Structure 1
Amino acid sequence: MKMDPNFSRVLHVDLDAGKSEVLKIEDRHMHIGGSGLAAVLYEKYGIDDAPADDPRQPLIFAVGPLTGFYPLMSKVVCGFRSPYTGQWSESHAGGRLALSIRFAGYDALMITGKANQLSALVIGSRSCEVEKVPYLRGKDVFATGKFLRRFGKKNSGHRSAIRIGQAGERGVAFACINVDSFRHFGRMGSGAAMGFKNLKGIVVSGDGSFDLPEGKAYADMMKDIYEDITETGKMKKYHDLGTPQNLIPLNELKALPWNNLQKTYDERVENISGETFAKQLLLRQVACAGCPVGCIHIGLLRQQFASEHEFLYKQVSYDYEPIFAQGSMLGITSAADVLALLDETEKLGLDCMSAGVALAWAAEAFEKGIITKEETIVDLKFGEMKGFHEGLKFIASGENAFYQALSRGSMAAAKLYGGEDFACVLGQEMAGYATGEVFFVASAYGFRHSHLDTGGYAFDQSNTEKNVDKAIEFMLEDERGRIYINSMMGCLFARGTYGPEKLKEALTAAGFGNIADNLEEAGQYIQKLRWQLKCRTGFDVDAVNIPKRYSEVVTWKGKIDTGYMNEVAKRYAAAIKEMAQCGE
Structure 2
Amino acid sequence: MFWLWKRPKSQPDQRKKHQRKRRRKRRRRLPRVLPHDPLSRVLYIDLTKKSFKVKDRSDLFEKYIGGAGVGIQLLKEECPKGIDPYDPSNPIVFAVGPLTSLFPLASKTVAMFKSPHTGYLGESHAGGRSAVAIRMAGYGALVIKGSSSRPVYLAIHEDSINFRDASALWGMESNFTVGRIIRENEPAAGMRTIMRIGKAGEKLVSYACVTTESYRHFGRLGLGAVFGSKKLKAVLVSGKRTIPTANKSEYRKLYDELYHTAVESPLMKKYHDLGTAENIEPLNMLGGMPTRNLLTAKFESAKEISGDSIAENYLGRRLACSHCPVGCIHIAALRIPYEDETYFYKTSMISYDYEPIYALGTMLGVSDPKGLLKLMDHVESWALDAMTTGVVLAWATEAFEKGLVSEKDTMGLKLAWGDYNTYIKAAHNIMDQPNDFYAALARGVEHASSIYGGSDFALSFGKNEMAGYHTGPGTHVGHLIGARHSHLDNAGYSVDQKILAKKQLSPEELADALMEEEKWRQILSSLTICFFARGIYTPEVTLRALKLTGFELAKEDLDRIGDEILREKNRFKVREGFSLDNVRIPKRIFETPTPLGQLDEAFIRKAVEHFKKKMLEEVAPEKGGAEKAEA
- Work out whether the TM-score is over 0.5: yes
Instruction: Summarize the alignment of residues 506-521 of structure 1 with structure 2, pairs less than 5 Å apart.
Output: 506-513=545-552, 518-521=557-560
Aligned to 1:376: 410
Give the Å deviation of 1:467.
Answer: 1.7
Aligned to 1:125: 158
* 1:173 counterpart = 2:206: yes
Which residue of the other structure, out of 329, 332, 339, is the alignment partner of 2:363?
329
Which residue of the other structure, out of 376, 382, 398, is the alignment partner of 1:364?
398
* 1:343 counterpart = 2:377: yes
Residues in 1 aligned to 2:34 and 2:544: alpha-carbon distance in whole angstroms? 20
Instruction: Summarize the alignment of residues 453-468 of structure 1 with structure 2, pairs less than 5 Å apart.
Output: 453-462=489-498, 463-464=500-501, 465-468=504-507
Give the Å deviation of 1:187.
Answer: 0.2
Distance of aligned partners of 1:129 and 1:6 in 2 relative to their CA distance in 1, 3 Å threshold: closer
Distance of aligned partners of 1:434 and 1:517 in 2 relative to their CA distance in 1, 3 Å threshold: closer
More deviation in 457-466 or 543-552?
A: 457-466
Residues in 1 aligned to 2:382 and 2:35: alpha-carbon distance in whole angstroms? 38
Aligned to 2:581: 542
Aligned to 2:145: 112
Which residue of the other structure, out of 424, 443, 450, is the alignment partner of 2:479?
443
Give the Å deviation of 1:375.
Answer: 0.8
Aligned to 1:153: 187
- The answer on whether the counterparts of 1:504 and 1:517 sit within 8 Å (CA) in structure 2 is no
Residues in 2 aligned to 1:258 and 1:158: alpha-carbon distance in whole angstroms? 41
Which residue of the other structure, out of 375, 397, 422, is the alignment partner of 1:387?
422
Give the Å deviation of 1:550.
Answer: 1.1
**Partner amino acid, structure 1, of 2:155:** V
- The answer on whether the counterparts of 1:5 and 1:514 sit within 8 Å (CA) in structure 2 is no
More deviation in 42-51 or 574-583?
A: 574-583
**Partner amino acid, structure 2, of 1:109:** L
Which residue of the other structure, out of 575, 591, 595, is the alignment partner of 1:552?
591
Residues in 2 aligned to 1:33 and 1:372: alpha-carbon distance in whole angstroms? 49
- The answer on whether the counterparts of 1:221 and 1:509 sit within 8 Å (CA) in structure 2 is no
- The answer on whether the counterparts of 1:438 and 1:459 sit within 8 Å (CA) in structure 2 is yes
More deviation in 406-415 or 567-576?
A: 567-576
Give the Å deviation of 1:514.
Answer: 5.1
- SS of match in other structure, 2:179: helix
Residues in 2 aligned to 1:562 and 1:319: alpha-carbon distance in whole angstroms? 31
- SS of match in other structure, 1:67: coil
Distance of aligned partners of 1:3 and 1:107 in 2 relative to their CA distance in 1, 3 Å threshold: farther
**Partner amino acid, structure 2, of 1:26:** S
Give the Å deviation of 1:2.
Answer: 6.2
Which residue of the other structure, out of 478, 486, 489, is the alignment partner of 2:528?
489
Superposed CA deviations along residues 375-406 of structure 1, whole A, max 9, x for unmatched, are: 11211100111110001100001121100001
- The answer on whether the counterparts of 2:44 and 2:53 sit within 8 Å (CA) in structure 1 is yes
- The answer on whether the counterparts of 1:70 and 1:290 sit within 8 Å (CA) in structure 2 is yes
**Partner amino acid, structure 1, of 2:421:** K
Residues in 1 aligned to 2:234 and 2:200: alpha-carbon distance in whole angstroms? 13
More deviation in 465-474 or 360-369?
A: 465-474
Distance of aligned partners of 1:61 and 1:516 in 2 relative to their CA distance in 1, 3 Å threshold: farther
Which residue of the other structure, out of 201, 204, 207, is the alignment partner of 2:240?
207
Residues in 1 aligned to 2:552 and 2:307: alpha-carbon distance in whole angstroms? 42
Which residue of the other structure, out of 238, 250, 258, is the alignment partner of 1:217?
250
Aligned to 2:465: 429
- SS of match in other structure, 2:188: helix
- SS of match in other structure, 2:487: coil
Residues in 2 aligned to 1:526 and 1:49: alpha-carbon distance in whole angstroms? 21
- Give the number of aligned pairs: 583
More deviation in 433-442 or 478-487?
A: 433-442
Aligned to 2:133: 100
* 1:576 counterpart = 2:615: yes
Residues in 2 aligned to 1:583 and 1:447: alpha-carbon distance in whole angstroms? 21
Which residue of the other structure, out of 14, 18, 22, is the alignment partner of 2:46?
14
Residues in 2 aligned to 1:466 and 1:447: alpha-carbon distance in whole angstroms? 22
- The answer on whether the counterparts of 1:72 and 1:290 sit within 8 Å (CA) in structure 2 is yes
- The answer on whether the counterparts of 1:47 and 1:56 sit within 8 Å (CA) in structure 2 is yes
Aligned to 1:75: 108
Give the unaligned 5+ runs of structure 2. Answer: 1-32, 624-631
Choose 1 or 2 for highest CA Rg.
2
- SS of match in other structure, 2:54: strand
Distance of aligned partners of 1:410 and 1:100 in 2 relative to their CA distance in 1, 3 Å threshold: same
Give the unaligned 5+ runs of structure 1. Answer: none
* 1:320 counterpart = 2:354: yes
**Partner amino acid, structure 1, of 2:48:** D
- SS of match in other structure, 1:339: helix
Residues in 2 aligned to 1:45 and 1:109: alpha-carbon distance in whole angstroms? 12
Residues in 2 aligned to 1:7 and 1:200: alpha-carbon distance in whole angstroms? 26
More deviation in 495-504 or 226-235?
A: 226-235
Instruction: Summarize the alignment of residues 14-53 of structure 1 with structure 2, pairs less than 5 Å apart.
Output: 14-27=46-59, 28-53=61-86
- The answer on whether the counterparts of 2:379 and 2:385 sit within 8 Å (CA) in structure 1 is yes
Aligned to 2:12: none
Residues in 1 aligned to 2:97 and 2:91: alpha-carbon distance in whole angstroms? 19
Aligned to 1:533: 572
- The answer on whether the counterparts of 2:38 and 2:138 sit within 8 Å (CA) in structure 1 is no
When normalised by structure 1's length, the TM-score is 0.97
Aligned to 1:399: 434
Which residue of the other structure, out of 409, 431, 444, is the alignment partner of 2:444?
409
Residues in 2 aligned to 1:583 and 1:398: alpha-carbon distance in whole angstroms? 42
Give the Å deviation of 1:578.
Answer: 3.3
Instruction: Summarize the alignment of residues 124-273 of structure 1 with structure 2, pairs less than 5 Å apart.
Output: 124-139=157-172, 140-155=174-189, 158-273=191-306
Residues in 2 aligned to 1:429 and 1:256: alpha-carbon distance in whole angstroms? 15
What's the RMSD between the two structures over aligned residues? 1.8
Residues in 2 aligned to 1:154 and 1:123: alpha-carbon distance in whole angstroms? 10
Aligned to 2:11: none
Aligned to 2:606: 567
Which residue of the other structure, out of 485, 491, 500, is the alignment partner of 2:539?
500
- SS of match in other structure, 1:147: helix
Superposed CA deviations along residues 74-106 of structure 1, whole A, max 9, x for unmatched, are: 000010010001112200000010111011000
- SS of match in other structure, 2:331: strand
- The answer on whether the counterparts of 2:520 and 2:559 sit within 8 Å (CA) in structure 1 is no
